[in-house]
């Protein structure tokens, strides 16, 4: 926005967001400052869990921001290309045969990345993504098969560990 700088829109998922907080832009190593916060076009000093917010940022350019990135304190999350969890709940309507070595898409939060299945079974699942993914322990992740010509493409879901 002219005169304000880089502004992002999002939802506070955990804790409280305060003006002038210093946060990391996951999965990058970039550390940014919160310049100001708006909730429903009203300037606020903080935003609580569950609120939709507009945040003016300092220390980052608009070209460095992509969908699915997460703002969190340093050390609060982890990132990597390996993602695993359990239990795996297969979608009963999925008719494909995604198994070990299958090319799938991994959806975790607003991140959707191509991945390869390393292990898949009722007890556990492990996938390797093409690029780093921010891991939120306990949050659901979904495996999607985009090669299926018709019908449900959702293979199943699991809780990230």
The reply to whether 32 and 47 lie within a common domain is yes
CA dihedral 36, 12, 33, 139 (to 10 degrees): -170
The reply to whether 109 and 155 lie within a common domain is yes
Q: Is residue 2's pLDDT more than 70?
A: no
Q: Domain for residue 91, yes or no?
A: yes
The reply to whether 52 and 87 lie within a common domain is no
pLDDT of residue 69: 92
Six token digits for residue 154: 């959702």
Band of pLDDT at residue 1, cut at 50, 70 and 90: low
The boundaries of the domain holding residue 40 are: 6-72
Q: Is residue 4's pLDDT more than 80?
A: no
Query: Looking at the 3D structure of the chain, how many domains does it have?
Result: 2
Backbone angles phi, psi at 10, to 5 degrees: -170, -170
Q: Is residue 3's pLDDT more than 80?
A: no
Q: Domain for residue 30, yes or no?
A: yes
Q: Domain for residue 1, yes or no?
A: no
Q: Is residue 28's pLDDT more than 80?
A: yes
pLDDT of residue 103: 95
The reply to whether 30 and 11 lie within a common domain is yes
Q: Is residue 7's pLDDT more than 60?
A: yes
Q: How far apart are CA 46 and CA 39, in angstroms?
A: 9
The reply to whether 24 and 94 lie within a common domain is no
The reply to whether 64 and 100 lie within a common domain is no
Write out pLDDT tens, residues 113-153.
Answer: 999 999 999 899 999 999 999 998 889 999 999 988 887 89
Six token digits for residue 74: 């340093």
Whole-model pTM?
A: 0.84
Write out pLDDT tens, residues 69-124.
Answer: 999 999 889 999 999 998 999 999 998 888 999 999 999 988 999 999 999 998 99
High-pLDDT (> 90) share of the chain, %: 80
Q: How far apart are CA 141 and CA 91, in angstroms?
A: 13
129: CATH = 2.40.30.10
């Amino acid at each position: 926005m002219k005169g304000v700088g880089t502004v992002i829109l999002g939802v506070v998922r955990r804790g409280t967001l305060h003006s002038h907080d210093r946060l990391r832009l996951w999965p990058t190593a970039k550390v940014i400052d919160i310049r100001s916060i708006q909730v429903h076009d009203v300037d606020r000093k903080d935003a609580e869990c569950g609120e939709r917010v507009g945040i003016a940022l300092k220390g980052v350019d608009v070209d460095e921001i992509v969908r699915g990135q997460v703002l969190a304190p340093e050390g609060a999350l982890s990132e990597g290309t390996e993602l695993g969890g359990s239990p795996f709940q297969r979608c009963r309507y999925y008719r494909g045969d995604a198994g070990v070595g299958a090319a799938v898409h991994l959806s975790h939060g607003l991140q959707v990345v191509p991945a390869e299945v390393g292990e898949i079974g009722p007890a556990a699942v492990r996938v390797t993504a093409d690029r780093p993914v921010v891991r939120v322990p306990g949050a659901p992740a979904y495996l999607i098969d985009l090669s299926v010509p018709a019908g449900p493409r959702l293979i199943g879901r699991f809780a990230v560990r």
